[in-house]
């Protein structure tokens, strides 16, 4: 029970004006299988209002990308569900801010120990930063993902199910391929780091089909190959 309570509390957190300080050991919860909500109880009542919840010792909260040490949260509850703004702390240092609507997480923002933003979620777009504040991942769920190197140069651009582009650290295009129904279709192009074309290959339904041409770095043709349904002729 204690472990479950900690896990749930870590996924939450918030507030501004504090009405009461509560130790997490005094909170129980019931998973709302019928209502779809997890309800928090304190002294046999649905937890409501603005509260500070403290923990006996720091605990580690892990997201998909990072992990954070926390030992206090300030949160708003409505009828037992997390609601509105929530904040989590390690001692008095702000670790994260989360916004809920009646138990459903809508957005969040987390911080490195140096105060730089580490992760955000806003309007279904997730962003990850390094500890210098440089954007390294941007993901619009179900639509695309972009990855950047530590200098902020785009290195991968993946438009789910439509096309994929990869770039060298100098910004030059490295690879370009198109998809249809999540299968590679059309012409796939590979490039040398200096921008010269390295190869041109044709795909159909995920298989090499048609002519593939390979080039030397000076632009001269290295070789040509012909494929049919993935088989070399």
In a domain? residue 194: yes
Residue 138's DSSP bridge partners are: 127, 146
In a domain? residue 123: no
- Residues 82 and 156 grouped into a single domain: no
Confidence class of residue 96 from pLDDT cuts 50, 70 and 90?
A: very high
In a domain? residue 6: yes
What φ, ψ does residue 9 adopt, rounded to 5°? Answer: -65, -35
- Residues 148 and 83 grouped into a single domain: no
In a domain? residue 49: yes
DSSP 7-35: HHHHT----SS-S-EEEGGGEEEEE-TTT
In a domain? residue 135: no
- Residues 206 and 152 grouped into a single domain: yes
- Residues 21 and 60 grouped into a single domain: yes
Q: Is the pLDDT of residue 177 over 80?
A: yes
- Residues 99 and 35 grouped into a single domain: yes
**What are the structure tokens assigned to 80, written together?**
């037992």
Indicate which CATH number applies to the domain containing 208.
2.20.110
In a domain? residue 167: yes
The predicted structure's pLDDT at residue 41: 67
In a domain? residue 86: yes
More confident residue, 24 or 206: 206
| Residues 83, 5: Cα–Cα separation, whole Å | 17
Rg from Cα positions in the chain: 25
Domain that holds residue 174: 142-233
The predicted structure's pLDDT at residue 45: 74
In a domain? residue 184: yes
């Amino acid at each position: 029970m204690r472990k479950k309570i900690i896990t749930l509390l870590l996924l939450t957190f918030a507030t501004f004006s504090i009405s009461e300080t509560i130790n997490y050991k005094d909170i129980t919860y019931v998973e709302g299988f019928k209502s779809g909500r997890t309800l928090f109880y304190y002294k046999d009542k649905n937890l409501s209002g603005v509260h500070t919840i403290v923990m006996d010792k720091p605990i580690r909260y892990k997201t998909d990308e990072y992990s954070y040490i926390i030992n206090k949260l300030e949160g708003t509850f409505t009828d037992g569900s997390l609601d509105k703004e929530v904040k989590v702390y390690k001692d008095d240092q702000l670790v994260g801010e989360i916004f809920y609507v009646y138990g459903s997480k809508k957005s969040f923002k987390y911080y490195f120990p140096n105060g730089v933003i580490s992760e955000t979620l806003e309007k279904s777009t997730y962003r990850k930063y390094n500890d210098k504040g440089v954007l390294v991942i941007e993901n619009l769920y179900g639509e695309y993902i972009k990855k950047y190197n530590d200098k902020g140069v785009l290195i991968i651009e993946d438009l789910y199910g439509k096309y994929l582009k990869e770039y060298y650290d100098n910004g030059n295009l490295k690879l370009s391929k198109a998809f249809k129904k999540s299968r590679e279709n059309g012409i796939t192009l590979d490039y040398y780091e200096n921008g010269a074309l390295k190869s041109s290959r044709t795909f159909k339904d995920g298989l090499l089909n048609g002519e593939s041409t390979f080039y030397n770095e000076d632009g001269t043709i290295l070789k040509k190959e012909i494929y049919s349904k993935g088989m070399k002729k």
